Chains A and B, each alone.
Chain A
Amino acid sequence: MKSKLFLALPILLAVFSLCACKKAAQIVQPVQAFGAYDTEPDWNDGTKLVNLGYQESQGKRIFYQYCVWCHADASPAGPSNRSNLTPVPPLLNDGDKLNGESDEFMQNIITLGGSALGKSAMMPPYGKTLSSNEIKEVISFTRAIAQPPYQKPGRQGSQYTTK
């Protein structure tokens, strides 16, 4: 009998210590809100929402203050200025036009303006108004809402996952 007790004790101990390992509970995902600062409706299909990261959501904010007037079909004041301009400025989500341009080119044309890069002088330089970080944010917003979707050039991200 006693020997059985001897056996039982460590086994119980082992069971208890194993019990202490607990399972990770599910993390509750926040519900995405329509019209929120960190989502943008797909411009070609209003029912789809594009989720924006921190940088992209800051880009959205800057876009809707400075760029929306000429690079969207409607502006907060109603009509868009786009139709007044020749050549017509590209819509910000126009992937066919903008996906081919590198981040460096986009950074330069926003910083220095159209005329510095041999494009239309109607695009003014924003290098003295926005910081280079803010311009990066606008570019990342452009990439996020591009249709067709933007693919990063060069080497694709590793397929490696942590799981």
Chain B
Amino acid sequence: MPAEDMGKLTYRMRLTFAVATVVCVLVLAISPVKDFRAEWKKYKRSFVRYAQGRPDTKKLLADYSPKIDQVWLPGMNVVDRCTTCHQGMTQPSLADASVPQPFRAHPPIPHNVREWGCTVCHRGQGPATEIAEAHETTLAWEQPILPAHYLQASCGSCHHQDMNETPQLTRGRELLSRLNCQACHKLNDLEPPMLGPELSSVGNKISREWIYKWLKEPRTILDKDGNVTVNGYESGDESRMPKFRLKDEEIVALSAFLSAQKAKPIEDYKLNPAVVAAWSKKPDLLPQAELRFRQMMCTTCHPLAVTRAGETKLIGGNIGPELTKVGSKVNEQWLVSWLRNPQGYLAHNNMPRYGWTDEDLYKVSQYLLKQLTDSDLLTTVPKLEAGTDEQIKNGRRLFLEKGCASCHSIAGVTPQKEFGPDLTALGAKNASELEFGKAKITHNLLSYIQAKLQDPVSVNPASRMPQYTWNSADLDAVTTALLSQTGPKPTSALQHLTVSKVEASYKPVGDFAEVYERYKCYACHRFNGYGGTLAPDLSYEGSRAQKKWIADFLKNPQTIRPTLILRMPQFNMTDKEVNTIAEYLALAVQKPDVNPESVDSRQFTPAMASLGKQLYEVKYQCQSCHTIGGTGGYVGPNLNNAGNWLTPAWTEAWLRNPQALQPDTIEPRRNFTEDEIRALTAYLMTLKAGIKPQTSTSAANARPVGQGAGR
């Protein structure tokens, strides 16, 4: 370049500068343009347009601002910008499903969005301003939004007490507890584990062949053609024993070990030979035996498989084990001694001690052993002799290694502590903390939990967890319950808001305690929040029922609700026991503000009773739910014997407000005046059609169908 041209701009250079300037301006413009076109700004603008197209524009745009909107709750560690796009969140007029997302209003829930934020329940990244970052897993944020189907998990991470509003979570917690997950895993707020049967003397009860068969197919006992005769799961009365992936030689060793367990000899009880001799010759022994089995209402707790119209179903309660093939399982001497005294074999066992006579014992045990059998059950099992010492030794090792000892105790065998991983904070885990192995699933917590539950070895080939069978609703319920196990709350504010679980316990005293324990009242009935749910809650029975009625009922239990077929078993109680229970319930098991003495039935006049009858039949039409004398509805209990059954004080209190006495009762609270309550009570107290003594045939012919049990 010549010297005089130095410092002058050539055309070429001008062009270069011009292009560079334009590019520079363009580059600088990228940021403002990107900002202008930000996703959240688009939603801001389209909300304005949407609101303008509606009649309530003014109301919808009252607090509109074009800026980012956020809920900031320092105490809870919440910075949620979700309302930037979800702008109709608190607008009741946008609740309808026709409103396009993200503008739809939040459904009305007990918590206010402004006080709680969004991510506390929905998860996702609160401060994010882009759709993907807010809702999904990113490298910097591993907690994606929780699909609405599992949202109840978030309720459960603060509400440790079960709630009506979260059926899926409650079912999940119930399953975790029923399936005894706590035996191997550490979990929060579950009922204490109900362990599998103690096996210290199992060799006295069942044969080695049966144990072999059971270990091979614990949930579904297959017959020799490979047909599932009783699939416990389908009926909802699942066996709690899952399937362990055991090899044949492992099963041989385990069965050898278990059949050698004979710690406690069988109680030596001889049935009266005269009774046995008399009955064993009768041609109708088995029909008579079946009749007795049905009269005792064993099916209230124990289900039986029944085939009707080609469909096999379990029918009966789900408290005790299924008995369809029990005759091929247990030995006779064991069965008789068990029926006499179940606690003699298993100390912690909920089966009541019935007052059987020798005749009953013989008949029922013959029915179980002769009628409830399957001759083909054990045909596929190889011939097994008594186990060798080596097999027993291996079996003992496997019993510990496979985790059998976590659920089943055997005297002298100490289970390994913390057999499975701690799951108390599983619901808060990030995907990077989980091991997915070779499983071809989405790498997030939700699909990990579901894969692990459905097939434990799919994510970890070395997994010791056994195989469970789930239907999809139960799988989702358990997933929800596991997702709710989010460990301790990280922030102080939430810690104070946590609703903790209330532990219920009920310990009666005195003579009653002994009877309560003998007949295991708590297996079906609930007392002050503790006990079973099959039969009515008896927390206030002393306020409700008249003492004489309680005594009569215990002698001869009958269903009070017309649709119920299951009912309380006949315990053959002695007069002394009956009196002990009646006295105790009538005096000690009362609602404090319903004193049975407070209303004197002598004040009721026939005029009041006839007014009450009018009210019952015409004004309030109570017969739509209650039966009197064979006509009326199926919903409530029958009132044929209300005058002998209920105390007047309870009846009045109940008519005033049923939910105050029993919170979950479906009988609605009515607008009765005090005079109407008096009159209705007077009428009910005139109903005294006593229960006829039980005729044996009617009970035996009753269909053993239905849910719940009568009292």
Which residues of A pack against B, CB within 8 Å?
A: 3, 6-7, 10-11, 13-14, 17-18, 21-22, 24-25, 27-38, 53-55, 58, 61, 65-66, 69-70, 75-81, 84-85, 115, 120-122, 124-126, 128-129, 133, 152, 156-158, 160-162
Complex interface bits, B40-59 against A, C-beta within 8 A gives 1, otherwise 0: 00010010011001100000
The reply to whether B20 and A7 contact each other, CB–CB distance below 8 Å, is yes
In angstroms, how far is the closest chain A Cβ from the Cβ of B33? 11
Contact between B473 and A36, CB atoms less than 8 A apart: yes
Q: State whether A35 touches B135 (Cβ < 8 A).
A: no
Which of chain B's residues have a CB closer than 8 A to the CB of A69?
Answer: 625, 633-635, 666
Inter-chain contacts of A124 with B (CB < 8 A): 620, 624, 668, 670
* Interface residues as binary, B355-375 with A (CB distance below 8 Å gives 1, 0 otherwise): 000000000000000000000
> Are the C-beta atoms of B108 and A55 separated by less than 8 Å?
yes
Q: Check B706 for interface membership: any CB of A closer than 8 A.
A: yes
Which of chain A's residues have a CB closer than 8 A to the CB of B20? Answer: 6-7, 10
Q: B669–A128 contact, CB under 8 A?
A: yes
Contacts A28-B442, A84-B634, A162-B50 given; 12 further ones with Cβ under 8 A?
A7-B19, A10-B24, A25-B136, A28-B147, A30-B150, A35-B473, A36-B472, A55-B107, A75-B634, A77-B564, A77-B708, A157-B98
Asked if B26 and A14 sit within 8 Å, CB to CB, the answer is yes
Distance of A125 Cα from B27 Cα, bound (Å):
70
**Cα distance A157–B442 in the bound complex, in angstroms:** 37
Q: Judge whether B670 and A125 touch: CB under 8 Å.
A: yes
Set of chain B residues within 8 Å of A161, measured between Cβ atoms: 100
List which B554-586 residues lie within 8 A (CB) of chain A.
561, 563-564
Instruction: Report chain A residues within 8 Å CB of B707.
Output: 76-78
Q: Does B532 contact A (CB under 8 A)?
A: no
User: Residues on B close to A: CB < 8 A?
Assistant: 12-13, 16, 19-20, 23-24, 26-27, 30-31, 34, 43, 46, 49-50, 53-54, 96-103, 107-109, 130-132, 135-136, 145, 147-150, 164-165, 167-168, 442, 444, 446, 471-473, 475-476, 561, 563-564, 618-621, 624-625, 632-635, 657, 659, 664, 666, 668-671, 705-708
Q: Tell me the minimal C-beta distance from A102 to chain B in angstroms.
A: 15
Chain A residue numbers with a CB within 8 Å of B561 are 77
Q: Are A53 and B107 in contact (CB under 8 A)?
A: yes
B648: min CB distance to chain A, Å = 22
Q: Is the CB of A58 within 8 A of B165?
A: yes
Alpha-carbon distance A122/B24, docked complex (angstroms)? 81
Chain B residue nearest to A65 in the complex (CB)? B666
Do B563 and A11 touch (CB < 8 A)?
no
A6: which of B16, B657, B659, B664 is its contact (CB, 8 Å)?
Answer: B16
* CB-CB under 8 A for A70 and B624, given A37-B167, A162-B46: yes
Q: Is the CB of A24 within 8 A of B131?
A: yes
A17-B27 contact given A25-B136, A158-B53, CB 8 Å threshold: yes
- Contact check, A121 vs B472: say whether CB atoms are below 8 A apart: no
Write out the residue numbers on chain A whose beta carbons fall within 8 Å of the beta carbon of B12: 3
Q: How far is the CA of A120 from the CA of B621 in the complex (A)?
A: 9
Instruction: Say whether A38 contacts B149, CB under 8 Å.
Output: yes
Inter-chain contact total with CB atoms closer than 8 Å: 164
Within 8 Å by CB of A27, from B98, B135, B446, B471, lies B135
Contact of A14 among B30, B46, B619 (CB under 8 A): B30
Structural contact, B624 and A85, CB atoms closer than 8 A: yes
Q: Complex: how many Å from CA A21 to CA B30?
A: 11
Contact B621 A10 (CB under 8 A): no
Given contacts A14-B27, A157-B99, contact A30 B671 (CB under 8 A): no
CA of A34 to CA of B109 in the docked complex: distance in angstroms? 25
Q: How far is the CA of A81 from the CA of B626 in the complex (A)?
A: 10
Q: How far is the CB of A83 from chain B (nearest CB, A)?
A: 9
For residue B19, which residue of chain A has the nearest CB?
A: A7
Return chain B residues, CB-CB under 8 Å to A66.
666, 668
Closest residue of B by beta carbon distance from A116: B671
Whether A10 contacts B23 by the Cβ 8 Å rule is yes
Q: Are A36 and B476 in contact (CB under 8 A)?
A: yes
C-alpha gap A13/B619 in the complex (Å): 84
B145: chain A residues within 8 A (beta carbon): 27
Query: Inside 8 A of A158's CB, which chain B residues have their CB?
Result: 50, 53-54, 98
**In the complex, which of the residues B97, B472, B634, B706 contacts A53, with contact meaning CB atoms closer than 8 Å?**
B97
CA distance A133 to B31 in the complex (A): 48
Is A30 in contact with B148, judged by CB distance below 8 angstroms?
yes
A35: which B residues are within 8 A, CB to CB?
Answer: 471-473
Provide the residues of chain B in CB contact with A156, threshold 8 Å.
98
Residues of chain A contacted by B446 (CB below 8 angstroms): 30
Task: Evaluate contact between A7 and B633: CB separation under 8 angstroms.
Answer: no
B634 pairs with A79, CB closer than 8 A: yes
Q: Which of B16, B130, B446, B564 has the most CB of A within 10 A?
A: B16
In the bound assembly, the distance between CA atoms of A152 and B93 in angstroms comes to 14
Residues of B within 8 A of A121 (CB): 618-621
